Structure 1
Amino acid sequence: MNLLKPILFSAVQPSGTLTIGNYIGSILHWSSMQTTHHCIYSIADLHALTVFKNISSLQQSKLDTLCFYLSAGINPKQSIIFLQSQVHQHCQLNWILNCYTYFGELKRMVQFKQKSKIYAKNINSGLFNYPILMSSDILLYQSNVVLIGKDQKQHLELARNIAHRFNFLHGKFFNIPDSYIPNKYSCKIMALLNPTIKMSKTDVNHNNVIFLLDNKKSVFNKINKSVTDSENKIFYNSDTKPGISNLLNIYASLKRQNIHEVEKIFKKTSYKDFKYLLACMISNKLSVLQEKFHYFRNNLPYLKNILDYGAYQAKKIAQKTIENIYNLLGL
C-alpha cells in the first residue's frame, strides 16, 4: 500500500440489480479516485443478508456487481476489489466494536426506522446492528476517506464516534475517517414516479427505477412515465419541482456538468423534448456500460482471480489491524 496516498473505502450491497442511482452516487466516481487515493472497494454481501434470502440470486448478484465495478473503470491492478464475506476480519472487528457502541446510538439510526417499515415482517437484529458492521468495514482498513451518499452520513458519524471512543480508552489507534460526498446533487437519485424517495434497487415498482441492464425501450418508457409537474419550465428546485429536478440531476451527473449549466441549456426546452434527450443520453451511456459488462461477465475465471487476489490483499491489511487490536485488548 502506498502510504503517501489517503486510503479510500467504499462498498455496494449486491442485494439486487444495480441502478443508475448506484452508478451516479458512487461507482461513477470511483475510477477517477484511483489516481489520488489508495482505493479499497468491497462488495458488501454480508450486509445484503439483512434483506436478501435468495441464495442463488445472491451468488449471481455478487458477480454482476463486480462486473459493473470493472465496466465503470475500476482497475484491479490499482485498487483492491473483494467480497466482504471472504475477509473474516470484518466479523471479528464487528464483535469488538459492538462492545464500544451504545444501544441508544443504534436506536437513533434513521435508516433502521425506515427499513423497519419497509421490511416489517423481517425486522432482524442484522438490520439493527448493520451500522456497526459498516463501521468495521471502514475502520478495519484505517480509512481516511469514505465515499458515501447523504443517507449514509449518520452511519459514518457513528463510525467516527466509535473510533474516538476506542482511541480515548486505548490511545490513538484508529484513523478518524472523513466523508466524501461527490456533490450535493448526484449523491441522491430519486424514484422516477415518486421523487420524494430515493431510487432503490429493491423497489417493487420497477418503473421507479432505471437498472443498469435496462434496454433502450425500457429506459424510454420509464423516463416518459416519470413524474414532473404542469409548469413545463425546466429549472432546479427540489422542493417545488422534485420530478424535473431529479431528471436534471441525472442528466447533469452523467454528463459531468454543473446542474445550473444544464438548466441554461434546456431553459426553453419542453418537458417532452427534454425527456427524449435524457432517455437518449442514458441509453447511450448504458449501452457502452453493458457491452463491457457482458464482456467481463462471460469470463468467470478472470472474475474469480480478481476476487481471490482482492481478498488476499484485503486480508493482509485487515489481519494487521486485528492483531494490533488484540494486543491492545489483551486477547
Structure 2
Amino acid sequence: MTETTAKANFAKRVFSGIKPSGGLQLGNYLGAIKRFVQTQDQGEFETTLYCIVDLHAITVWQDPADLREATYEVTAGYLAAGIDPEKSILFNQSRVPAHAELGWIFNCVARVGWMNRMTQFKEKAGSGAEKQSLGLYAYPSLMAADILLYHATHVPVGEDQKQHVELTRDIANKFNHDYKVDFFPETIPVIEGPAMRIMNLRDGTKKMSKSGESDMERINMLDDADAISKKFKKARSDMEALPETAAELDHRPEAKNLVNIYAGLADLSVDQVLAQYAGEGWGKFKPALADLAVDQLAPISTEMKRLMGDRAELDRYLARGAERAREIANPILQQTYDIVGLVR
C-alpha cells in the first residue's frame, strides 16, 4: 500500500458536465453552462474542468449518429457561451479511459443499499426497473469517478443531482476509511441561482425537456432570434399581474418560471425583477423577456452554428482538452491502484 496517510491538502478544483442526449436547451444554459463560465472567469479555483459526459449518455440507447451530433453540439455550446479552452479543460469523457477504470473501483466500494436509495433511477426506470441497463443503475458510481478522478472539491449541479454528489462523498469517505488514507476529498455540491430548474413554456409544472412533444415548449440553444422571441411571447402565463414578492409566485407555476428565466438571464434576484415589474401585466413583461433573451441567446446560437460547421476545429479542442485532463487523471488513477493493491 502506498504511503498516503498524511492529511491531504486538496487544491480547489471544479468538475461538472452535461450529457449529450438530444439538443441543448435553455435549462442547460441557465442551470449549467452560464454558471460554468462565471466560475471559470472568477479565478477562484486552481482548475475548472467541463466535460461532455458521453459515457453517461449510453446508459440508455442512443443512435450512434445522434450521439456524435449531440456531443459536438454540447461542445459548441460550451465554447459559444464563453468557456475558454485555455482557462478551462474542455473534453468528452470517453477520451479519458480513466473515468471508466475508476468507475469500476468505485463499483466495488459503493454499497447496493446506497444505489437502491437513488431517487433519479427510480424516477427514470419507473415500473420497468428490471429492463433497465446495469449502467443506468450504476450511473451515480461513474459520476463519483468523474468527480474524484480529478480530486474535484466543488461540483456545480442542479437540485436533481445533489443526491449523486452526496453519494460521491459517501464513496470517498468509505474508500478513505477502508484503506486508511486521506486520498479523496469530500466534494461540495454548488447549487445556487434563481434559474436552477427551468420549466416548460407551456406547462410550468413540467421541467423543460429536449424531448418535449412541441418545440414551443422549450428554447433550443440553436434557435434564431425570431424563434426565441416568438416562443417567449407565446409562452403560457396567467391572468394576474406580477406580484411584489417571490413568495406570491409559489402557486403560479407559469408566472414563476418566466420570472425565474428573466432573473437568470439578467443576473438578478427574483425580488429585483419583481421590484421592476410589480403590478405590470404580461403584455409588458413577456416582450421585455423576449428582448432580453434575444440579446443574450441569439449571439450564442449564431456562434454555435459556425462551430458546428467545422467539426475539425471542435475535434482539436476536445483532443487537447482530453490530453490536459489525462495529465491530472492518470496519476490519481495510478495512485488509486497502488492504494488498492493492484499490480501493474
| TM-score (norm: length of structure 1) | 0.93
Q: Is the 8 A contact 1:52 1:58 kept in 2?
A: no
Is the counterpart of residue 12 in structure 1 residue 18 in structure 2?
A: yes
Q: Is the 8 A contact 1:234 1:271 kept in 2?
A: no
Task: Pick the aligned partner of 1:100 from 98, 106, 109.
Answer: 109
Higher deviation after alignment, 205-214 or 215-224:
215-224
Task: Pick the aligned partner of 2:88 from 74, 79, 82.
Answer: 79
CA distance in 2, matches of 1:221, 1:119: 38
Q: Is the 8 A contact 2:25 2:220 kept in 1?
A: yes
The residue number in structure 2 matching 1:127 is: 136
Higher deviation after alignment, 162-171 or 266-275:
266-275
CA distance in 1, matches of 2:283, 2:147: 44
Q: Is the 8 A contact 2:10 2:153 kept in 1?
A: no
Is the counterpart of residue 321 in structure 1 residue 327 in structure 2?
A: no
Count of aligned residue pairs for this structure pair: 328
Unaligned runs of 5+ in 1: none
Q: Is the 8 A contact 2:10 2:151 kept in 1?
A: no
Kindly tell me: are residues 117 and 218 of structure 1, through their superposed partners in 2, closer, same or farther at Cα, counting changes over 3 Å?
farther
Is the counterpart of residue 27 in structure 1 residue 33 in structure 2?
A: yes
Task: Pick the aligned partner of 1:187 from 196, 204, 213.
Answer: 196
The residue number in structure 1 matching 2:314 is: 303
Kindly tell me: are residues 227 and 117 of structure 1, through their superposed partners in 2, closer, same or farther at Cα, counting changes over 3 Å?
farther
Kindly tell me: are residues 182 and 307 of structure 1, through their superposed partners in 2, closer, same or farther at Cα, counting changes over 3 Å?
same
Higher deviation after alignment, 15-24 or 227-236:
227-236
Q: Deviations over 1:155-182 (max 9, x none)?
A: 0000000001111111111011111123
| TM-score (norm: length of structure 2) | 0.90
Q: Is the 8 A contact 2:241 2:278 kept in 1?
A: no
CA distance in 1, matches of 2:152, 2:76: 24
State the 1:4 CA deviation: 9.0
The residue number in structure 2 matching 1:116 is: 125
Higher deviation after alignment, 99-108 or 138-147:
99-108
Q: Which one-letter code corresponds to 2:316 in the other structure? A: N
Task: Pick the aligned partner of 1:136 from 123, 145, 167.
Answer: 145
Q: Deviations over 1:3-60 (max 9, x none)?
A: 9961100100111111111100110021222222210110001111123421111111
Q: Which one-letter code corresponds to 1:261 in the other structure? A: Q
Task: Pick the aligned partner of 1:200 from 206, 209, 223.
Answer: 209
Aligned-pair identity in percent equals 35
CA distance in 2, matches of 1:32, 1:224: 28
Kindly tell me: are residues 86 and 288 of structure 1, through their superposed partners in 2, closer, same or farther at Cα, counting changes over 3 Å?
same
Q: Is the 8 A contact 1:12 1:42 kept in 2?
A: yes
CA distance in 2, matches of 1:122, 1:19: 29
Secondary structure, counterpart of 1:195 in structure 2:
coil
For the aligned residues, what is the CA RMSD?
A: 2.0
CA distance in 1, matches of 2:88, 2:213: 34
CA distance in 1, matches of 2:37, 2:95: 23
Q: Is the 8 A contact 2:222 2:305 kept in 1?
A: no
Higher deviation after alignment, 231-240 or 97-106:
231-240
CA distance in 1, matches of 2:118, 2:17: 19
Kindly tell me: are residues 103 and 203 of structure 1, through their superposed partners in 2, closer, same or farther at Cα, counting changes over 3 Å?
farther
State the 1:105 CA deviation: 1.3
The residue number in structure 2 matching 1:49 is: 58
Q: Which one-letter code corresponds to 1:329 in the other structure? A: V
Secondary structure, counterpart of 2:22 in structure 1:
coil
Q: Which one-letter code corresponds to 1:275 in the other structure? A: K
CA distance in 1, matches of 2:334, 2:242: 60
CA distance in 2, matches of 1:21, 1:216: 17
Is the counterpart of residue 247 in structure 1 residue 258 in structure 2?
A: yes
State the 1:122 CA deviation: 5.9
Kindly tell me: are residues 220 and 43 of structure 1, through their superposed partners in 2, closer, same or farther at Cα, counting changes over 3 Å?
same
The residue number in structure 2 matching 1:173 is: 183
Q: Is the 8 A contact 1:5 1:36 kept in 2?
A: no
The residue number in structure 2 matching 1:258 is: 269
Q: Which one-letter code corresponds to 1:166 in the other structure? A: F
Q: Which one-letter code corresponds to 2:303 in the other structure? A: K
State the 1:314 CA deviation: 1.0
Task: Pick the aligned partner of 2:219 from 195, 210, 219.
Answer: 210
Kindly tell me: are residues 328 and 121 of structure 1, through their superposed partners in 2, closer, same or farther at Cα, counting changes over 3 Å?
closer
Kindly tell me: are residues 204 and 104 of structure 1, through their superposed partners in 2, closer, same or farther at Cα, counting changes over 3 Å?
farther
Kindly tell me: are residues 118 and 246 of structure 1, through their superposed partners in 2, closer, same or farther at Cα, counting changes over 3 Å?
farther
Q: Deviations over 1:208-264 (max 9, x none)?
A: 211111233433443244333332334534531111111001001101112111001
